[in-house]
Structure 1
């Protein structure tokens, strides 16, 4: 496919090393108008991007960083340099664009003027490297068709993105679903097509990384709910309620009744509360084996991770409201 002049790309990253090189090369095969937004890299990322003829934006790191802010600045720079751009591919620097994706996505947007964003399957490069990488790969595998949101990799229609003023730079996690919410409010549509889109390299091998990522999800739920929770959609209300219930209320009750039972101050039947986490686990396992169609062992591990993740999600919810109460500003929660 010869690169159409109406097609551009924005790539963001910081110290991604060889992953960024693969990202730039895979994108550059189809798109020539690329802006790379760097957030203080010290690994030669900027120099490599410039050697490919890619336009580079050095993000001012004295201002609180967010991926949303980086994408916005790259988007503005792309339109400044190439005002003819109609579609923009956003890619995270730890991802590699799959062969044929840009052609398929471009064709889809050209044929459906109601669609603001088209995304595909983000696939984890090394799911066998750790359980946590595997969980990411399972998470990326979402249903094909009209969707409520997308992730960080997608092809977007410039007209639609400008209509909602792009990403909200104050949203430090979950900025893509938040923007998609505003797009849908203006009757734009988001679609996921049955096509491999990007190869992602999470490099998540430690429990602490998984915990931080889950905590970041909780922060995103709380911030999203605080912004749009009173909408008819009740944006992220269920997720926040779930984190509070299963990450806080139920564990506290379990510890309380167990402690009282040990000293003989509570009826033995109260220990039936311990069955509640098992019920949640079986519910999630049913979904993992059913709609997700996972093999039994990965389904068990994935389901268990979703149940345990309620605790760090609650920590993330608390962190958001603590920061808001203190008016201390929001900084990103990194897991790698």
Structure 2
């Protein structure tokens, strides 16, 4: 009888231990399951600046990097510090994702709201006759037959990009992608990413390239980037009571070669040779306006950021 009682107690102890381990495992698993559901619910509930597939990928990768220790809002704060260029690079370069020219077109549209296909269809952007030697060489290298400069200039920009892309025997780096887009379409994505919060909106290639409700000035270019004009936004007019550019800004633009155009109703510049305005001139123009905003209207930007 005593032997039976000892065996029963030993068996009970084993059962109790197993039960304790099981329930401990369940209790440890529950928070993870709840956390996972919380992440999914938060992802579904948020209104993102970018498309859901892109943001979902970036958030999941962020969570993997933190080994699941970051809360949703910690990861959200981390991603808020990323530029549009950072977001695009992260999405395209993680997990050996297969990237094609059409993938890139789709992602640029999703992240930057810039439609490269539309630019190509309209024949807008950098003039085809001003492609760099680098672009022409890449296109010829990928073409199955010899091509003249004139023949290449007749291709759509998307077709030029396809040939340029296929000349690479490896995966394009982020820098190579940015160079390609800028040289073919005349769209400097890295520079555009830096416009957020600067107070400058950009309208180019017949579409908004960068625009926020509280931008102060608009830089607009023609479809071929041959000319540029600068004028205030409605937000600036409402905040300052001014209907035109401040005189000091116009003085600074005049030094760059701008002059007032009655037709445009704005300070205007056109390339004297009828060619696409070079990147360094665009950079000077944007830098001049941003510098002026920082000196004279920084308080309006601070109001914007506080909102």
Q: Which has the higher contact order (CA 8 A, sep 6+)?
A: 1
Larger Rg belongs to: 2
TM-score scaled to structure 1, two decimals?
0.25
- Higher share in helix: 2
- Higher share in strand: 1
TM-score scaled to structure 2, two decimals?
0.27
